[in-house]
């Protein structure tokens, strides 16, 4: 991602970023799994014509991906 995610300025996100590398990898894997599950929920909601729920799940998916990516990138610095 070519931008700074404002989510990472929150105190809880900073705590995540300060975890040791092995813990960041484990948490990142959980966020990646959450992303996939949220995407499936979004697709299911969309098929059922539940637009607000589809948008909710898509947002969950997006934030999970952003956090996973940030956790993976912080280990490369």
> Residue 29's pLDDT is what?
98
77 pLDDT exceeds 80? no
Closest CA to 15 of 64, 62, 66, 71: 71
> Residue 35's pLDDT is what?
98
* Residue boundaries of the structural domains of the chain: 12-74
> Residue 57's pLDDT is what?
98
Distance of CA 6 to the CA centre of its chain: 13
Q: Where are the alpha helices (DSSP H) in the chain?
A: 11-17, 21-47, 51-74
Query: In this predicted model, what pLDDT tens digit does every residue of 2-61 receive, in sequence order?
Result: 667 788 889 999 999 999 999 999 999 999 999 999 999 999 999 999 999 999 999 999
* pTM for the whole structure: 0.84
> Residue 74's pLDDT is what?
65
Q: How far apart (Å, rounded) are the C-alpha atoms in residues 19 and 52?
A: 34
């Amino acid at each position: 991602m070519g931008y700074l995610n404002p989510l990472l300025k929150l105190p809880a996100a900073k705590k995540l970023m300060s975890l040791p590398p092995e813990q960041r990898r484990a948490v990142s894997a959980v966020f990646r799994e959450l992303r996939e599950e949220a995407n499936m929920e979004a697709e299911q909601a969309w098929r059922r014509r539940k637009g607000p729920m589809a948008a909710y799940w898509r947002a969950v998916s997006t934030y999970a991906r952003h956090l996973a990516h940030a956790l993976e990138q912080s280990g490369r610095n």
